[in-house]
């Protein structure tokens, strides 16, 4: 098989949950492109294996293949999904230094703050995002709203303030916003 065939086999093995097979295929493939490396990172994510995701990222860096922000965001998603916010924050710090950040980077990190119901951290992150010239979108605000209503019994004042900020920023309330608020009201 050629590189393309190996790439397809790696991707399919990840999708089928055969993450170790994808790793073995990558070791015998004649060459890997950025999509192949991202499949390997997703495989690590599927296994919640942060160390393996970083090992693939390091292998990618050493390969000479151009690394784009999407590859870094894949590793970030593995950190957040595994609940390793310390490594997630360290990665974003490195990404900022190398100018590899975008709205998706910050939304992914916001997802981690939401999972921890860390409203203060999420608000600080939203402010940092804006200070870098990255415009928060509906996903950004919905993460902050979700963090607010998930924190210790639900902070509805904070959630409504975020809805107001969202509207002032020109971002429309969407069905996800309404769903978050309705689910939070059901818990009261």
Residue-wise pLDDT for 115-136, tens only, equals: 888 888 999 999 999 999 999 9
At 154 the pLDDT is 75
d(CA 146, CA 93): 24
Kindly state the percentage of the chain with pLDDT values over 90. 59
Tokens of 109: 């990190």
At 188 the pLDDT is 61
Count of beta carbons in the 10 Å neighbourhood of residue 55: 15
Averaged pLDDT, 35-53: 92
d(CA 158, CA 30): 53
Count of beta carbons in the 10 Å neighbourhood of residue 31: 11
Say if CB 178 and CB 144 are below 8 A apart: no
Tokens of 107: 């939304």
Say if CB 126 and CB 144 are below 8 A apart: yes
Count of beta carbons in the 10 Å neighbourhood of residue 72: 24
Cα 23 to Cα 42, 61, 62, 146: the distances in Å are 11, 17, 17, 36
- Can you give 32-69 as a three-state secondary structure string? CCHHHHHHHHHHHHHCCCHHHHHHHHHHHHHHCCCCCH
Say if CB 40 and CB 56 are below 8 A apart: yes
Q: How confident is the model over 158-174, as pLDDT tens digits?
A: 888 999 999 999 999 99
At 20 the pLDDT is 85
């Amino acid at each position: 098989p050629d590189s393309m065939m190996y790439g397809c086999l790696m991707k399919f093995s990840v999708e089928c949950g055969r993450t170790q097979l994808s790793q073995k295929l990558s070791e015998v493939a004649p060459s890997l492109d950025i999509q192949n490396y991202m499949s390997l990172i997703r495989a690590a994510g599927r296994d919640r294996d942060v160390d393996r995701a970083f090992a693939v990222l390091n292998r990618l860096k050493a390969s000479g293949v151009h690394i784009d922000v999407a590859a870094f965001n894949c590793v970030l998603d593995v950190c957040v999904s595994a609940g390793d916010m310390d490594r997630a924050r360290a990665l974003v710090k490195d990404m900022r230094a190398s100018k590899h950040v975008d709205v998706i980077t910050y939304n992914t990190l916001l997802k981690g703050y939401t999972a921890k119901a860390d409203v203060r951290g999420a608000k600080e992150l939203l402010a940092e995002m804006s200070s870098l010239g990255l415009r928060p979108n509906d996903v950004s605000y919905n993460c902050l709203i979700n963090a607010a209503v998930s924190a210790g019994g639900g902070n509805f004042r904070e959630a409504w303030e975020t809805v107001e900020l969202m509207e002032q920023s020109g971002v429309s309330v969407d069905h996800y916003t309404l769903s978050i608020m309705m689910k939070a009201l059901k818990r009261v």
